[in-house]
Amino acid sequence: MAAYKFLNIINRTEAVNLIKESYYIDERRWDVRLHNNILLNLSEINIEDSLKNYIKLIKKFNNSDIIKIKSIDLRDSEKAIISFK
């Protein structure tokens, strides 16, 4: 059931073609690995908002900065925590 709901949500976003793998964490939230190898920690409740925030955020970076990003924690809609390699 969770996977079906997750797929319905991501199919409504621009991020659908960016996702390489998805991980269901502790039966409550999702992490996704993108084709650019960035790991996104998504909100437990607002998955679509997390993905939209990623799209807005990543547009502010140039390609040389993006390849240095290891992960982005988007669980809090008010902030993003970026970890670098």
Rounded Cα gap, residues 26 and 67, in angstroms: 28
3-state secondary structure of 20: strand
**Domain total for the chain?**
1
In DSSP terms, 81 is beta-bridged to 73
**What confidence score (pLDDT) does residue 74 get?**
97
**What confidence score (pLDDT) does residue 1 get?**
63
Domain range for residue 37?
2-84
Give the CATH number for residue 37: 3.40.50.11690
pLDDT (tens place) for every residue of the chain, 85 residues total: 688 888 888 888 888 899 999 999 999 999 999 999 999 999 999 999 999 999 999 999 999 999 999 999 999 999 999 999 9
**What confidence score (pLDDT) does residue 11 get?**
85
User: Strands 19-25 and 29-34, how do they pair?
Assistant: antiparallel
Nearest Cα to Cα of residue 74 among 12, 28, 51, 60? 51
